[in-house]
Amino acid sequence: MKKWLGLVFILMLVLMKTWPYLQKNIGFVLANTAIGLPLKDEDRLVRLQQALQQCAAGNEVVPVDANLTRLLAEQFDSCYLNHLSPLYVITETTHMPITSLYLGGVSQSNRITDETASLFGAGYLEAIIFPAITTSNVSVLSITALHDDPPPVTLTIWLDEAIIGEFNFERGDKTWETLSLPLPMGVNFHRLRIEYSNDLYDVALGLDRNAYIKDVTISQ
């Protein structure tokens, strides 16, 4: 009898030591399910909340309801999403400062200064976005950019792994304009990428087209 009690005691100690890690692993499974599978939006919300509870590993989590708050997305982001791009929770009209967006691409000359992104070669701006909604909807993406010469300046818009449209700044008169397009999103974390896709530099012809972007806004 004492032998069995000793074994039970040892098993309880092992379980106490490993339970937080098991909780974390369960949370990762739920998180991957919520993000990766084609769930209904309401089911995805439930999975996100379940994963968040597991991520807390016994710590108190401020309750969230099915209407989805900024708190849910930000807590979930801190637990599970490791990324260079910033997170934006989209509520009504959300302005994303250029200086906070992730700047990527092959050109070393690309830079962000004075709240303007200057893309002198192939490059992109990127952010993680999460719509504070309970069902899929169509938001509006608006970008303010320069009509550089020679036109057009083409910005290709990616949402996750798909191209959803293009902005073409065609005047070539060095003026600024704001263009918009629909942005269909479900209840999920999405990767938004704004890619400068038609760079031009020709020394012989004296041609040098660049992309200058100074505002990115999403409206519901």
Residue with tokens 């990616």: 158
Domain end, chosen from 13, 46, 80, is at 80
Query: Stretch 6-21: mean pLDDT, rounded?
Result: 49
CATH number at residue 202: 2.60.120.260
**Same domain membership, residue 63 and residue 113:** no
**Same domain membership, residue 104 and residue 212:** yes
d(CA 41, CA 192): 19
Mean pLDDT value across the chain = 79
d(CA 158, CA 84): 17
Here the tokens at position 177 are 């304009």
d(CA 32, CA 82): 13
Q: Are 80 and 36 spatial neighbours (Cβ–Cβ below 8 Å)?
A: no
**Same domain membership, residue 22 and residue 102:** no
Query: Stretch 189-205: mean pLDDT, rounded?
Result: 93
Domain end, chosen from 46, 80, 114, is at 80
Query: Stretch 148-168: mean pLDDT, rounded?
Result: 96
**pTM strictly above 0.85:** no
Over the stretch 139-149, which tens digit does the pLDDT of each residue have? 999 999 999 99
Q: Which residues pair with 88 in a beta bridge?
A: 129
Domain end, chosen from 80, 113, 130, is at 80
Q: Which domain holds residue 28?
A: 2-80
pLDDT band at 207 (very low <50, low <70, confident <90, very high): very high
Q: Residue 166: pLDDT above 90?
A: yes
Q: What is the pLDDT of residue 178?
A: 98
Q: Residue 101: pLDDT above 80?
A: yes
Number of domains composing the chain: 2
**Same domain membership, residue 73 and residue 156:** no
Contacts 24+ apart (CB under 8 A), 39-46: 41/133, 41/134, 41/135, 41/136, 41/186, 41/187, 42/66, 42/134, 42/135, 42/187, 44/186, 44/187, 44/188, 45/134, 45/187
